Amino acid sequence: MKAHSKVICSINTDDIQTVATEQLGRELAAHEIKLVADKVGDYIPWYDAIDFAIHDALPLAKADVSTD
């Protein structure tokens, strides 16, 4: 596997079921899981999460960016 195609973070059906059980008091049916799975990516601010992680893990990264 090439390094640029490595999965860094993922959400699986167990994760969805855990939240559903905590929030709704029940597990979701298969068709409900599909509906949630199709939408969940719309609510994750990927760019911001990566940006924050870069600056948290590499605190000097911001200082290295040239503003010529």
The 10s digit of each residue's pLDDT in 4-41 is 889 999 999 999 999 999 999 999 999 999 999 999 99
Q: What is the pTM of this model?
A: 0.72
**Does residue 55 have a pLDDT over 80?**
yes
Predicted confidence at residue 67, as pLDDT, reads 55
Q: Which domain holds residue 21?
A: 3-64
Q: How confident is the model at residue 63 (pLDDT cuts 50, 70, 90)?
A: low
**Does residue 62 have a pLDDT over 80?**
no
Task: Say how far residue 37 (Cα) sits from the centre of its chain.
Answer: 12
Count how many domains the chain has: 1
Distance CA 6, CA 14 (A): 21
Answer positive or negative: Cα dihedral of 34, 39, 43, 48: positive
